[in-house]
Amino acid sequence: MKRGTSGISCLLAIDKPLGLSSHDVVNRVRRALGERRVGHAGTLDPAASGVLVVGVGQATRLLGMLTLDDKRYEARIRFGAETSTDDAEGEVTREAEVPSRLAESAVAAAVVASLVGPCDQVPPAFSAISVDGRRAYDRARSGEQVELPVRHVTIHEASLVDVDTSDGLVWTCSLHVSKGTYVRSIARDLGRSMGTAAHLCGLRRTSSGPVGEQVCLSLEELEQMTALEDVLSRALDPTDALRLPLRALSEADLEDVRCGRQVRVGQAKQGGGLDSLDQSARVCMVREGRLYGVWEVRGRRLASVATFPDGIMGVRS
């Protein structure tokens, strides 16, 4: 397709392959759809694979509104060494003996389960966190000593999937974590707490907020699609991703919404009033399979937070 404006506005879940950056994925989606307006939510490192939510066309403006705070991962943690990046990409900075008991499944399962709950963690020095206007990884690469502030995060669920002793000791864990959690830090800190050393040697994101890997599209699948209908059949419902009530629009409402004029609070699409919503609560403005705006309650009216005059496709509710 010709690069420019394709007329497509939708959210897609891409299964990011290993070896590509999140920006690489954006560039491939641009080429596949002939659309320059493409962005992503929730960066994944090149060494990680899995769910990457991508916005196309007007849907790029939705990315900052999505409630993708919690994430699920399958992580592989190798014991015996720490690295400069806390994953397999970095140089080994410390080695330590691995207690034999850590190879026992019952012990490993108990240790992983004990991770659940709120905790404080120091992000990896090689991270995208900004320090005085520069990315931490830029400072670390130039040889600076990077000290990042502690983050308060929550591990909602943690379970052991497998213990592999065929080449050293590797635990595979399933993790459900809050926004801002670094799985690399979990691996590093786990090794230290066990009296040894560890780093992350594999990571797959299995869900981002409500978006799971089962709805993902591979880049190869997307690149083979030639019809808009094929793309839209795999698009995410933007209202599901936003997790907001729906306000169905009449033809007259739609004209007002496109012009940014306030409208009455009205009825939820599934039936029932929206009057009980708190002030400043947000709703999705929808009509005939498209999202035309995210608006908020002001008194007994709805006012625009973001308006999408052409509509974001994929609404199925």
Of residues 67, 61, 63, the one with CA closest to residue 307: 61
Residue 12 to residue 215: CA distance in whole angstroms: 9
Is residue 291 pLDDT above 90, yes or no? yes
Q: Give me the CATH topology for the region 71-208.
A: Pseudouridine synthase (3.30.2350)
Contact 73, 205 (CB under 8 A): yes
Q: What is the pLDDT of residues 155-207, one digit of tens each?
A: 999 999 999 999 999 999 999 999 889 899 999 999 999 999 999 999 999 99
| Residue 227 pLDDT | 87
Is residue 132 pLDDT above 70, yes or no? no
Q: What is the pLDDT of residues 44-78, one digit of tens each?
A: 888 899 999 999 999 999 998 987 789 999 999 99
Q: Per-domain residue ranges for the chain?
A: 10-68+210-236, 71-208, 240-313
Active site residues per annotation: 45
Q: What is the pLDDT of residues 219-236, one digit of tens each?
A: 999 999 988 899 999 999
Q: Is 3.30.2350.10 the CATH classification of the domain at 10-68+210-236?
A: yes
Contact 1, 56 (CB under 8 A): no
Instruction: Judge whether 10-68+210-236 and 71-208 match in fold.
Output: yes
Q: Is 2.40.50.140 the CATH classification of the domain at 240-313?
A: no
Between 7 and 120, name the one with better pLDDT. Answer: 120
Between 267 and 108, name the one with better pLDDT. Answer: 108
Of residues 45, 8, 4, the one with CA closest to residue 25: 45
